[in-house]
Amino acid sequence: MTKKLLIYIEYNDNSIQKVSKEIIAESKRKFDDIELSGVVVCSERTYECLKNELEQLSLDNIYVIKDNIFDIFNAKIFANSICDFINTNCFDIFLMGATEDGRELAPRVASTLDIGLTADCTDIDIDKEGNLLATRPTYGGKLMATITSKTKPNFATIRTGAFRLEKSVGLKSPEFQIINPNISGLTTLIEIIKEEKKPEIEDWTCSEIIVAGGLGLQTKENFELIYKLAEKLNAKPAASRAAVELGWASESIQVGQTGSSVSPKLYLAFGISGAMQHLVGISNADKIIAVNTDRNAPIMRNSDIAIVADAVAIIQELLNS
């Protein structure tokens, strides 16, 4: 029987979050015999802003839970409406982004529905019976665990950047269904006193080329070369956690389990050992080139091209070429 997968469509500033599109793209790529649906919780005003973008999503159905109470994000109220919707519609799998909002919503949804939750996943698959196989780092990132759930829907949150985003996600337009939720009894204890727009942070994680540096660069001055090379290659700079901890780079450009997941076409790793906690962040990179003096460093086994050399010397060569 065709399985039914539901994806929570998250939005921010009236545009759909990248992670929701990534989950749709990966589900399309991986699963054949599956009905893909999305659910969005929004106000009339937001719906008007999102409509065009929603129509482009390659989903079979889009359920729009619409009421003006959703004009402001409130985890309790949003979660309640999602649970009511799931309780009246049968889904086998439910996926959501492991974003700030997702981290507030998912535990509420899981506890209200009394179902399991596999949080912060970096990979998904489906077994022969149609159950979700959700993979995430465990034991401080030393191991990857693939987790199945005994409760329905199988529920997981997915890290941003874990999956590649395809420009044209699909050809088919979704069927829309507007749902008027039962909001009686839903009150908010939140009063908005002042609204401030968050400063725009450039999303570097979807850059096609990423140039990353680690402790093998030896000094902060040498790490500066990462920025220069990134600029020359029209790429974005990134760092290992060890380099961030030494203050060579900002935490915002850390790649890995406690940093960002990236999926560039090319990932250049200079002086990075390739600890599991770093590798989980680059598992979706198309090509990895590593430069390391130690041919046995884990990153070398996980690279498409492994160059045994001094990282600084290679960067200098590239800058001078």
Tally Cβ neighbours within 10 Å of residue 172: 12
| Among 77-85, 102-110, 167-175, 265-273, the segment contacting ligand FAD (CB under 6 A) | 265-273
Tally Cβ neighbours within 10 Å of residue 41: 27
315 near ligand FAD, judged by CB under 6 A: no
Burial class (CB in 10 A: 0-12, 13-18, 19+), 100: exposed
Half-sphere exposure of residue 204: CA atoms within 13 angstroms, side-chain side = 21
Residue 280 Cβ vs ligand FAD, minimum distance, rounded to whole Å: 8
Residue with smaller CB distance to ligand FAD, 277 or 302:
277
Residue with smaller CB distance to ligand FAD, 69 or 276:
276
Among 149, 292, 302, 303, binds ligand FAD (CB under 6 A): 292
Q: Are 42 and 181 in contact (CB under 8 A)?
A: no
Interface characters, 85-114, with ligand FAD (x: CB under 6 A):
------------------------------
Residue 307 Cβ vs ligand FAD, minimum distance, rounded to whole Å: 9
Q: Are 152 and 129 in contact (CB under 8 A)?
A: no
Residue with smaller CB distance to ligand FAD, 231 or 294:
294
Q: Are 124 and 133 in contact (CB under 8 A)?
A: yes
| Among 21-29, 113-121, 195-203, 235-243, the segment contacting ligand FAD (CB under 6 A) | 235-243
Residues that bind ligand FAD (CB under 6 A): 140-141, 214-216, 240-243, 254-259, 271-273, 275, 277-278, 281, 291-294, 297, 310-311
